[in-house]
Amino acid sequence: MEIKGKTAIVTGSAGGIGRASAVMLAARGAAEIALVDVNEVGLTETARLVEAEGARANIHILDLSDIPATEAWFRAHGDVDILHNNAGVVSGLPQFPDVDAARIRWIIDVNLTSLVAATQIAVQAMKKRGGGVIVNTVSTVALGTGFYDAMYATTKAAVMMFTRCCAPLKDECNVRVAGMLPGLVDTPILDKYRNRLGDELMQQKLGRQVPIGRLGRPEEVGWALVF
């Protein structure tokens, strides 16, 4: 798909990979990008960066764990050419099995249920307009790399399988659904390590777990998105 002139939605775009992806889409000529997150301050900064690249940016405060609200929002705004399902959360402390049931439900709804709902509604709209592209942010933890967060890894494995199951939509609806599997990327999701260790030590400790010897950068995942 040629990105120039297209419309897009990026969830989890208040920072990190979502922000980098939105800015990269704008730089490649996207006409309008809907920025979705719960963090209004972060979204405002992302909108500024997107508009500096020449695209229109629309801010939408949406709690993706509220599935009825998510479905309603996508029915009203989901008629776009490109959807980047990027939003994701980790468990934090306490970990499974000590995490309470409400937090388990929250993780599943943000990482998986809302993504399925958004994809379903977007595919229906894209089919009517002649096609589109949906990109899901998965994670290398979906491959079973031993990440300690059981619930995060489980939801990402489910997203990977869901993405694979959407492959026939290319022939049925002219909607291509793809998945990106980043490794450890230096985003706000790692702030708990940054706060505890300091940025330099965090980079050293976590960077040793990555084959290239450093944390990934959000912009590198943004390049993968536009590809």
Euclidean distance between CA atoms 172 and 218, whole angstroms: 33
Tokens of 134: 């949906």
Quickly count: other Cβ atoms within 10 Å of residue 125's Cβ.
18
Q: How far apart are CA 76 and CA 72, in angstroms?
A: 6
Q: How far apart are CA 101 and CA 104, in angstroms?
A: 5
16 token code pair: 């990190």
Known catalytic membership, residue 152: yes
Q: What are the DSSP calls for 54-115, one per residue?
A: T-EEEEEE--TT-HHHHHHHHHHH---SEEEE-------SSPTTTS-HHHHHHHHIIIIIHH
Q: Which of 73, 74, 106, 152 is catalytic?
A: 152
The radius of gyration of the chain's CA atoms, rounded to the nearest angstrom, is 17
Q: Are 18 and 86 in contact (CB under 8 A)?
A: yes
Catalytic site residues? 152
